[in-house]
Structure 1
């Protein structure tokens, strides 16, 4: 099968991540995955939700939005509809879960980290791109907090990134663009850490059931893509990447 953009079946779209794109955000990243473009911003709030008050640990949450002309036809803002769509809620929760999975929340103190993901242009994979870009913005924000003495240790325990896989015209493909996603028989979003651990797998048999062999082959394809994305994250973060997942001796001995 010849893909729309002439990629190989196991090839990611071109990925570019630009750091520090916003003046006021504690951390920010602009991620481009093919024609999908997402702005990710980190804000730090010196309080936590009511269910965490007095417990000495932090929280990470997310808001996600499609700008009206990020799509082929205008998408109305949620605020004009008077409610957040089910899709938006699902994606916000996914981004929050993905990032919390690689953060030691006990090291944050009673702070909330807000991750805002605004889709500038959508061409498939907006949720996976949001996760991949947000991790970089979050790492940058944490790095600044350590540098400023706000945090003693970098609270990131691992890298995390996400990509999509699917079966289109009986071919197993990595990183689906919109045209491929819209006709996929099987469509999956996969979130993984650098250790190869799964944070979330969202898979749907759009055109019917699929076999365990299909599942295994798609997971292998997703892992290949995620590891390539993590290498890009490492390159963007530079020296800071070497501190991610490193546990200081005093912490390892139980001094949190």
Structure 2
């Protein structure tokens, strides 16, 4: 039995609150169990040098863990003067995941900045950031979309963690206690069409079998599909209708 009495293939309680901040073009607070992340999308009417004159836009993500987000205070990286490798890896993952479903030409010469700030961490912060940032991205794109054009977001995206716990049991959506003792740790990012964007898996305690991998992917797909269904409920009919529109 898991510490919070969930079934092996069951997500934690999840909730997304839209329009969480006043100033960004899109913003949400996403809760996955005790993990809470503020995801905000800000539009800048210019692009990096490598995109200038192409008519295409860009999307970039930043990730940060607030000092009070964990049981022991984590010093701000700005005070240390540099980002650690984990932070850089996570924000690259968020950016890659969301760019995979963005039509950069439909975006125009704009840059969308996705800021993911973890205010409380209990496992799965990077996957929660991807799921929450997707909602903020759709909200932001809707602010400049003109009817008859292609909508910049081509498909839905969600992400979830899976792993093999200390009892050698595959499980879905690991909390921190489970993650810290996991034998196998994996993150799964998927589209609404059921395609994989990224699978990050590591045998931390031992190698894992093909059978275990198949189970983990099945659990990951189940979790991602459930979250995408919830994303559609949260966005509502009008915004759901826009995603994937080509004109």
Shift of 1:242: 2.2
C-alpha contact 1:31 1:129 (8 A) present in aligned 2: yes
Corresponding position of 2:64:
65
**Structure 1 counterpart of 2:168:** 170
> What does residue 251 of structure 1 align with?
none
Contact (CA 8 Å) 2:154, 2:244: kept in 1 or not?
yes
Quote how far apart the aligned CAs of 1:59 are. 0.4
Please list the CA deviations of residues 190-225 of structure 1 after superposition, one character each: whole Å capped at 9, or x if unmatched.
101011111111101001111111111110110000
Equivalents in 1 of 2:105, 2:48: separation in Å?
A: 15
1:196 and 1:108 mapped to 2: Cα distance? 24
Residue aligned with 1:221, SS:
helix
TM-score if structure 2 supplies the norm length? 0.97
The answer as to 2:211 corresponding to 1:213 is yes
Correspondence for 1:160: 157
- Would the aligned equivalents of 2:35 and 2:123 in 1 still touch at CA under 8 Å? yes
Name which of 167, 185, 188 aligns with 1:187: 185
Q: Distance in 2 between matches of 1:144 and 1:55?
A: 22
**Partner secondary structure for residue 145 of structure 1:** coil
Alignment partner, residue 244 of structure 1: 243
> Compared with structure 1, are the counterparts of its residues 233 and 138 closer, same or farther at alpha carbon in structure 2 (3 Å cutoff)?
same
Structure-to-structure mapping, 1:1-256, within 5 angstroms:
2-146=1-145, 149=146, 152-168=149-165, 169-239=167-237, 240-248=239-247
Residues 192, 226 of structure 1: 8 Å contact kept = yes
- Which segments of 5 or more consecutive residues in structure 1 lack a partner in the other structure? 249-256
Corresponding residue pairs, total: 245
After the TM superposition, which parts of structure 1 deviate over 4 Å for at least 4 consecutive aligned residues?
A: none
Unaligned runs of 5+ in 2: none
CA deviation after TM superposition for structure 1 residue 51, in Å: 1.1
**Distance (whole Å) between structure 2 residues aligned to residue 3 and residue 211 of structure 1:** 22
CA distance in 1, matches of 2:144, 2:18: 16
